[in-house]
Structure 1
Amino acid sequence: MYIENRMGKIKISKDVIYKIVGKAAIATSGIAKMSSGIGEGLANWINGKSLENGIELKEAERGLDIRLSVVIQYRTKISAVLQELQNNVREAVAGFTGLSVGSINVIVEGISVK
């Protein structure tokens, strides 16, 4: 991801953005964990990229589009948790990187009863 200003270009690795998004998501009250398919989740865990599970990033004209797949905790109000998740991720990405965020789409893959 590139940020261009009058002094030049700044490149931010996607790995950094994955970590920012993952940390912001997990810190959101009501989110049990990030979710991905079993094959992808196992491969990311072996490669040490567990925070990338359930996160997709795409560069778009209006900013960075983010897609999250999550598992929420049982007995939480889904709409409130997901709205807080979107706000937390948007603030974290913009605050740490200066990148604008276009959209944050969330898919609830499951509910954790633990």
Structure 2
Amino acid sequence: MLIRSVLGNITFSKAVVSKIISKTVIATAGVAAMSTGLIKGLAQKVTGNSLMSGIELTTDDTGLNISLSITVHYGVRMQEVCKELQQNIRASLEKFTGLPIDVIHVKVEGIALSGN
């Protein structure tokens, strides 16, 4: 992730951007956890690459494209949780990095049931 200015270039690694996103996801009410598919989850446990679990980052001319998968708590209004999550991620990344954000895609892959 690159920002160009008159003073030079600033580069952010995907790991840094993913960590900011992960912290924001966990802090958003209604989100139980980041989610990965079974195969991806097993592969990440073997390789130890869990920072970017459930997060896909790409860039194009208009900015950063973010796709992430989450698990939400049972009983929440999923559309509202996802909308708030998108707003929180945009605000966090713009505040901490200044990177332009194009789109944030959120995929709900599961529902966390309370401990019954």
The TM-score by the shorter chain falls in which range?
A: over 0.9
Q: Is the contact made by 1:34 and 1:51 (CA closer than 8 Å) also made in structure 2?
A: no
- C-alpha RMSD of the superposition: 1.1
Q: Is the contact made by 1:65 and 1:101 (CA closer than 8 Å) also made in structure 2?
A: yes
- How far is the alpha carbon of 1:111 from its aligned partner? 0.6
Q: Is the contact made by 2:4 and 2:10 (CA closer than 8 Å) also made in structure 1?
A: yes
- How far is the alpha carbon of 1:37 from its aligned partner? 1.3
2:85 is matched with 85
- How far is the alpha carbon of 1:30 from its aligned partner? 0.4
2:65 is matched with 65
Runs (4+) off by over 6 Å: none
5+ long unaligned stretches in structure 2: none
- How far is the alpha carbon of 1:109 from its aligned partner? 0.4
Distance 1:41 1:52 in 2: 11
What's the CA shift string for 1:58-94, capped at 9, x where partnerless? 1021110000111100010111101110011101111
Q: Does 1:54 align with 2:35?
A: no
What's the CA shift string for 1:41-69, capped at 9, x where partnerless? 12223444323111100102111000011
SS of the counterpart of 1:88? helix
Equivalent residue letter for 2:42: L
Identity over the aligned pairs, expressed in percent?
A: 44
Alignment of 1:1-114 (within 5 A): 1-114=1-114
SS of the counterpart of 2:51? helix
5+ long unaligned stretches in structure 1: none
- After TM superposition, the score normalised by the length of structure 2 is 0.92
Count the aligned residue pairs. 114
Equivalent residue letter for 1:98: G
- How far is the alpha carbon of 1:95 from its aligned partner? 0.8
